[in-house]
Amino acid sequence: MAPGTSDTGAAGGQGAGAPSDSRTRHTRLIIETEEGTKTMKTIVSVKSLNKRYELGKDNYVDALRGATVNIGSGEMVAIMGPSGCGKSTMLHMMGCLDTPDSGEIWLNGRRVDDLSTRATTKLLREEIGFIFQGFNLVSTMTALDNVALAAQYAGKSRRESQTMAREALEAVGLAERAAHRPSELSGGQQQRVAIARALVNKPAVIMGDEPTGNLDTASSAEVIDMMREINLLTGTTFILVTHDPDVAAACDRVIHMRDGVVTDDTSRLVAAAARDAERDLERVA
């Protein structure tokens, strides 16, 4: 069952009939779970996204073909699908790392797909955190300095950045490793540093592209548990592109994509309840 949305009108007192190109708009996301209907503020919304990559003369790839998704504030959502289905492209669009050929992207009630370069940079510094498969840590810098760098980019002083970085590393259980460089850390520890870096500016949304892709099973489980704990304790929204079924199992909702479109968008609780019901019927039969 796909989640629905209800328009609560544009900011500034405009009614529900406000035009779609209004600069601000707030909607509510309605999700059916086995515990009943849940309504939450929509924090990320993409509507009818299209993206074509030109590879050469008469050679192109349609990475997105009208993809539409809504993410609720405080959700932890997995985006899954086969390689080349468009899931990473859509994540990059949501995170303002790339722009669509057509369609709309909304973050926290504000349209963001056509912002200026300066406004986009400010948005990335303050409102979105990223976790990458390859960690993307600076090899010559300590864990503390890697995390602090993100705070400095957001305009914090060096002293304040260091304080914020220590707090973020403590939150991921690596306070005692603050002085270690990436080469002195395990893969799981490096990804936890990357999570701390994503958290340091207290963004509304953290987006991860295959965050467990380079980890062994044990490290992967630790990182998944940590992301879920942060999600539940802080209310930070997580949107995770993954092939890992364990990541999907930890999420509130799983979105499936194929050939540039969303093919299924179902609450994990509803899906689990449906599977259990089918198994019960099979046993009776």
Short-list 216, 199, 215, CA closest to 207: 199
Number of residues written out for the chain: 285
Alpha helices in 13-115 (DSSP H): 87-94
Task: Classify domain 4-127+203-284 at the CATH topology level.
Answer: Rossmann fold (3.40.50)
pLDDT, the chain, mean: 85
216-225: pLDDT as tens digits: 999 999 999 9
Q: In which band, very low, low, confident or very high, does the pLDDT at 257 lie, cut at 50, 70 and 90?
A: very high
Q: Virtual CA dihedral for 118, 119, 122, 127, nearest 10 degrees?
A: -160
The predicted pLDDT at position 58 comes to: 84
For residues 179 and 183, give the distance between their C-alpha atoms in angstroms, rounded to a whole number: 12
**pLDDT (tens digit, 9 = 90+) per residue, 210-255?**
999 999 999 999 999 999 999 999 999 999 999 999 999 999 999 9
**Quick one: pLDDT band at residue 28, thresholds 50, 70, 90?**
low
Residue 22: exposed, middle, or buried by beta-carbon count in 10 A (0-12, 13-18, 19+)?
A: middle
